[in-house]
Amino acid sequence: MFTRLREDIATIRERDPAARSAWEVLTCYPGLHALVLHRLAHACWLGKRRWLARFVSQVARFLTGIEIHPGATIGRRVFIDHGMGVVIGETAEIGDDCTIYQGVTLGGTSLTRGAKRHPTLERGVIVGAGAKVLGGFTIGAEAKIGSNAVVVKPVPAGGTAVGNPARVVMPADTKRAPQSAAFCAYGITPNADDPVSLALHGLIDHAAKETQRVDEIVAALERLGTRLEALQGADAALIDLRRLSAAIEGKTVEQ
């Protein structure tokens, strides 16, 4: 018990620069208090003392604002930062070294008793503030869930999911071992572009290249002394294409 507590305190001091001492963490961090009480509730749950387990979990909810069902399985060195409004369902499984921020819901979408209704977070997952992970699927090791994302399908190991509904914006980097990845507070990943934005930029670049090629052909024909009436319509179409590309690019930048 005390070994786990020392691990938890060391984890909080490592991931939260606001933590100045072990005593401050022990007395002032509701995420730590919720985990300690959950271990007691979970032990009662496994011992078939279900009412007592639920009562302990409700006491923890009252004291910390964090609701963890006593049936949930939580690994070592898990950090619930701030924690107010966190809800973790009965069949949820949280692996070692995960980080969960305030307002997160690990919920279920099925009403079937005894089934796996809630998500599984593998080792090192970071779930940003306000995110909702709903369903009995798996979030891969070292994955990141952006703030306010609504995740309803699996996320691969090392990936980053953002949006509503969430989509993976940065697939796992197979050239780098997951354990070597730097900690990203709130699931914010540097240089992770939205795939929709990448697709739009690709279309814009392609349109620009095609426009340049058509301009070169028109210039070559003019040098040969050939001037076709049809080219006037082509020039108008090219102008419209340039305007459309500029509008798409401007919209992408605003977003």
Verify that 134 and 216 share a domain, yes or no.
Answer: no
Question: Where among 146, 168, 192 does a domain terminate?
Answer: 192
**pLDDT of 230 strictly over 90:** no
pLDDT at 183: 65
Residues, the chain: 255
Verify that 172 and 218 share a domain, yes or no.
Answer: no
Verify that 230 and 123 share a domain, yes or no.
Answer: no
Across the range 236-251, mean pLDDT stands at 66
**pLDDT of 229 strictly over 70:** no
* Residue 160 counted as domain residue: yes
Using CA atoms of 74, 45, 5, 67 in order, give the dihedral in degrees to the nearest 10.
60
Verify that 29 and 152 share a domain, yes or no.
Answer: yes
* Residue 139 counted as domain residue: yes
pLDDT at 177: 43
Verify that 47 and 158 share a domain, yes or no.
Answer: yes
**67-68: strand order across its sheet:** 67-68, 87-88, 105-107, 132-134, 150-151
Q: Which domain holds residue 82?
A: 1-192
Query: pLDDT category, 227, cuts 50, 70, 90?
Result: low
Region class of 60: left (phi > 0), else alpha (psi between -120 and 50), else beta: alpha
Would you say 34 and 68 are in contact if contact means Cβ atoms under 8 Å apart? yes
- For the chain, percent of residues with pLDDT exceeding 90: 55
Shortest CA distance to 207 belongs to which of 171, 248, 166, 175?
248
Query: What average pLDDT is seen over the chain?
Result: 83
pLDDT tens, residue by residue, 11-35? 999 998 999 999 999 999 999 999 9
Verify that 11 and 57 share a domain, yes or no.
Answer: yes
Query: pLDDT category, 186, cuts 50, 70, 90?
Result: low
Verify that 115 and 218 share a domain, yes or no.
Answer: no
Distance CA 187, CA 170 (A): 12
Query: pLDDT category, 253, cuts 50, 70, 90?
Result: very low
Residue whose tokens read 């949820």: 92
Across the range 99-103, mean pLDDT stands at 94
pLDDT tens, residue by residue, 49-90? 999 999 999 999 999 999 999 999 999 999 999 989 999 999
Verify that 60 and 139 share a domain, yes or no.
Answer: yes
Between 67 and 205, the more confident residue is: 67
Q: What is the value of pTM for the model shown?
A: 0.69
pLDDT at 179: 45
Verify that 26 and 92 share a domain, yes or no.
Answer: yes
* Residue 254 counted as domain residue: no
Verify that 113 and 12 share a domain, yes or no.
Answer: yes
231 contacts: CB under 8 Å, gap ≥ 6: 218, 221
DSSP string, the chain: -HHHHHHHHHHHHHH-TT---HHHHHHH-HHHHHHHHHHHHHHHHHTT-HHHHHHHHHHHHHHHS-EE-TT-EE-TT-EE-S-TT-EE-TT-EE-TT-EE-TT-EEE-----TTS--S-EE-TT-EE-TT-EEESS-EEPTT-EE-TT-EE-S-B-TT-EEETTTTEEEE---TTS-GGGSPP-GGG--TT---HHHHHHHHHHHHHHHHHHHHHHHHHHHHHTT---THHHHHHHHHHHHHHHHHHHHHHHHH-
* Residue 255 counted as domain residue: no
Query: In angstroms, what CA-CA distances link 179 with 8, 77, 79, 186?
Result: 19, 15, 17, 18
pLDDT at 207: 83
Between 222 and 161, the more confident residue is: 161
* Residue 174 counted as domain residue: yes
pLDDT tens, residue by residue, 115-124? 899 999 999 9
Verify that 122 and 22 share a domain, yes or no.
Answer: yes
Question: Where among 173, 192, 211 does a domain terminate?
Answer: 192
pLDDT at 175: 47
Distance CA 175, CA 169 (A): 17
pLDDT at 154: 93
- The total number of structural domains in the chain stands at 2
pLDDT at 191: 56
Verify that 9 and 41 share a domain, yes or no.
Answer: yes
Task: Residue 84: give its domain's CATH number.
Answer: 2.160.10.10
pLDDT tens, residue by residue, 143-180? 999 889 999 999 999 888 988 888 887 654 544 444 44
Pairing of strands 167-170, 160-162: antiparallel
